[in-house]
Amino acid sequence: MKKYKNTLQKGSVRYIVFKENNVWYAVGLEFNIVESGDTPQEAILLLSEALSGYVESAKKIKSRASILNQTTDREYEAMWQNSQKEKEQTKNVFSSGVFNVSQISQGLAVSV
């Protein structure tokens, strides 16, 4: 049986919030969820709600852990890695970090 980083009870999801053209995007990397908004705060709030719904749905159907451990898109992975290396955020990146799966399921993933 394959061992996964994320389970329905614990784990983490990396996120990044960035601007492309005039649209802000928030991405939950391990879940491959992308939300957009007019402001970075709106995008991250929508991402938080989407992550919460995703985890709750996975719990409800007693899903396998594989859906919480998806392969990350290369572009987003590179963007996240670069944002973590630099002391100052990159030009188009507003925020990046990690959400705890237990916080997501309690609706505590993001405070905007």
Residue ranges covered by each domain of the chain: 12-105
Residue 79 pLDDT greater than 70, yes or no: yes
| Contacts of 58-67 spanning 24+ positions with Cβ under 8 A | 58/8, 59/8, 59/105, 62/8, 63/8, 65/4, 65/6, 65/7, 65/8, 66/2, 66/4, 67/31
Task: Out of 1.10.10, 3.30.450, 3.30.420, 3.30.160, select the CATH number for domain 12-105.
Answer: 3.30.160
Single pTM value for the model: 0.83
- The pLDDT of residue 11: 87
Answer whether residue 112 shows pLDDT above 50.
no
**Residue of 38 and 92 predicted with greater confidence:** 38
Confidence of residue 109 (pLDDT cuts 50, 70, 90): low
